[in-house]
Amino acid sequence: MSFTVAIVGRPNVGKSTLFNRLVGRRLALVDDQPGVTRDRREGDARLYELEFRAIDTAGLEDVTDDSLEARMRQQTERAIAEADLVLFVIDARAGVTPLDAHFADLLRRAAAKTLLIANKCEGKAAEAGLLDAYRLGLGEPLAFSAEHGLGLGDLHEVMRPYVPQGEEDAVELPAEPDAAEDDALEAERDYGPLQMAVVGRPNVGKSTLINRLVGEDRLLTGPEAGITRDSIELDWDFQGRPVRLVDTAGLRKRARVEDKVERLSAADTKRAIDFANVVVLLLDGAVGPNEAPLEKQDLTIARTVVDEGRALVIAVNKWDACGDRIGAMRLLRDRLERSLPQTKGVPIVAVSALEGRGLDKLLQAVFAAYEVWNVRLPTGQLNRWLEATTTQHPPPAPGGRRIRIKYVTQAKTRPPTFVVFCSQPKDLPDSYLRYLENALRQDFDLPGTPIRIFARAGE
């Protein structure tokens, strides 16, 4: 009898997409028992070394008569009864719906352990829904994106304790696993190549830099469907680690048409940021003494990167032509921190794309920023930190009732997102959340990544 995992949830949350991820090519082996499994698919699934039987309860969307709910409930109940483990999927972008809450009720009473999967978490639109999911009372929701394959490593981690493992696995495991190395491997297996974009005003040297980084002999894979017709994906590796750069070469060329410069570069930039994990903002360092290599447009781009939750690395190009290097760096730091406090500590690397200088340092900074972006802080450590931090500077007491912050947990990575549970969350001022954010950034050394922090009611 194989270990059975049921994927349940209301229609359209992404159950089939998750099922396909887990079952993959083995889908060909899906049982086809008309009558019995008309409303569901089953298949042999694999998640890294874990092997199990997956049941997908999707397929009810086509049923439009009013017995839909009854049948769905029946289907789900049967799957739950058969399952050793349940993956309960919600659509984090849609938030928690009454039907989700209904399923949650069922599942809280079920014998099988339920893991809550907040799907469609690849973008900002899912943040509120992810936090909302806590109130389903099924434990911490796992931020996931079935479509983009994000969160498979986390899913593996939460499933592993429940799924019995074969003997083969024992052989595969290294004798003395190195935790840090394991994490690094996990990150790469989980997410694939580091996705990087180079953005900046026209003429700062983006093409020159990309050509330098990738090399002229590079294979261009693209144009890729799904991104845009004008982008090209460039795959290479840096010190053995895979990097993928989206290059909007076509647009960069068109941007040279004078009157279209602004408009094209803004759309171009936004798309590159959307695609990337780490964004390199390239600045023009060919400035004279007492000039900061930072213009209003640069700040606008930096702000977009932070707002979109991407990791940011700043590269000051044309360093070979800089009039006053020390002065330029100091002015840049000052102005950045004043205009955009979230960029405090953001890595800044001086480069010369023309001469090929500083490029290794740049990529090292990119990988370091990527690690921070992916960081997961253990809850225990976070709560020790919270106690110290709130003691040092307690939350305010609006109307004489002091807001009590009970605990904090990291809800997701990419970027690091935290929830503090407290009394009167609505009264907790933004300034206090910013205090916590700054303290987190400083105490856990998290430069170059946006940090999200939300307050929720909790005991």
For position 157 contacting ligand GDP by CB under 6 A, the verdict is no
Q: Using the rule CB under 6 A, which residue among 37, 97, 207, 297 binds ligand GDP?
A: 207
State which H helix or E strand residue 189 sits in. Answer: helix 179-191
Q: What gap in Å lies between CA 343 and CA 348, rounded to an integer?
A: 10
Quickly list DSSP for 237-296: EETTEEEEEEE-HHHHHHTTSGGGHHHHHHHHHHHHHHH-SEEEEEEE----TT--S--H
Query: From its phi and psi, is residue 445 left (phi > 0), alpha (psi between -120 and 50) or beta?
Result: left
320-350 burial: b if 16+ Cβ within 10 Å, else e: eebeeeebbbebbbebbeeebebbebbbbbb
Q: Using the rule CB under 6 A, which residue among 11, 223, 242, 345 binds ligand GDP?
A: 11
For position 13 contacting ligand GDP by CB under 6 A, the verdict is yes
Name the segment binding ligand GDP (CB under 6 A); options: 15-23, 164-172, 218-226, 445-453. Answer: 15-23
For position 16 contacting ligand GDP by CB under 6 A, the verdict is yes
Quickly list DSSP for 102-155: HHHHHHHTSSSEEEEEEE-TTSGGGHHHHHHGGGGSSSSPEE-BTTTTBTHHHH
For residue 415, cis peptide bond before it (omega within 30 degrees of 0)? yes
Q: Tokens 């700062």 label which residue?
A: 204
We find the least distance from the C-beta atom of residue 398 to ligand GDP, in angstroms, to be 38
For position 320 contacting ligand GDP by CB under 6 A, the verdict is yes
Q: Which is nearer to ligand GDP, 13 or 386 (CB)?
A: 13
For position 14 contacting ligand GDP by CB under 6 A, the verdict is yes
Q: What gap in Å lies between CA 229 and CA 218, rounded to an integer?
A: 19
β-pair partners for 51: 46
Considering only residues 324-353, where is the footprint of ligand GDP by CB under 6 A? 352-353
Q: Which is nearer to ligand GDP, 21 or 441 (CB)?
A: 21
Q: Which is nearer to ligand GDP, 60 or 453 (CB)?
A: 60
Terminal-to-terminal C-alpha distance of the chain: 41
Q: Using the rule CB under 6 A, which residue among 5, 15, 412, 453 binds ligand GDP?
A: 15
For position 45 contacting ligand GDP by CB under 6 A, the verdict is no
Other CB atoms closer than 10 Å to residue 68's CB: what's the count? 14
Name the segment binding ligand GDP (CB under 6 A); options: 13-21, 96-104, 380-388, 395-403. Answer: 13-21
We find the least distance from the C-beta atom of residue 170 to ligand GDP, in angstroms, to be 33
Query: From its phi and psi, is residue 318 left (phi > 0), alpha (psi between -120 and 50) or beta?
Result: left
Q: Which is nearer to ligand GDP, 210 or 440 (CB)?
A: 210
Other CB atoms closer than 10 Å to residue 183's CB: what's the count? 15
We find the least distance from the C-beta atom of residue 247 to ligand GDP, in angstroms, to be 10
Sheet of 4-8: strand order equals 41-47, 50-56, 4-8, 85-91, 113-119, 142-143
For position 359 contacting ligand GDP by CB under 6 A, the verdict is no
Number of residues that bind ligand GDP (CB under 6 A): 34
For position 317 contacting ligand GDP by CB under 6 A, the verdict is yes
Q: What gap in Å lies between CA 214 and CA 312, rounded to an integer?
A: 20
Per-residue interface string for the shown chain with ligand GDP, residues 108-137, x marking contact by CB under 6 A:
-----------xx-x---------------
We find the least distance from the C-beta atom of residue 332 to ligand GDP, in angstroms, to be 16
Phi, psi values for residue 53, rounded to 5°: -100, 130
We find the least distance from the C-beta atom of residue 255 to ligand GDP, in angstroms, to be 7
Per-residue interface string for the shown chain with ligand GDP, residues 252-291, x marking contact by CB under 6 A:
x---------------------------------x-----
Task: State which amino acid sits at residue 81.
Answer: A
Per-residue interface string for the shown chain with ligand GDP, residues 79-98, x marking contact by CB under 6 A:
--------------------
For position 205 contacting ligand GDP by CB under 6 A, the verdict is yes
**Rule CB under 6 A: which residues touch ligand GDP?**
9, 11-17, 58, 61, 119-120, 122, 145-148, 200, 202-208, 252, 286, 317-318, 320-321, 352-354
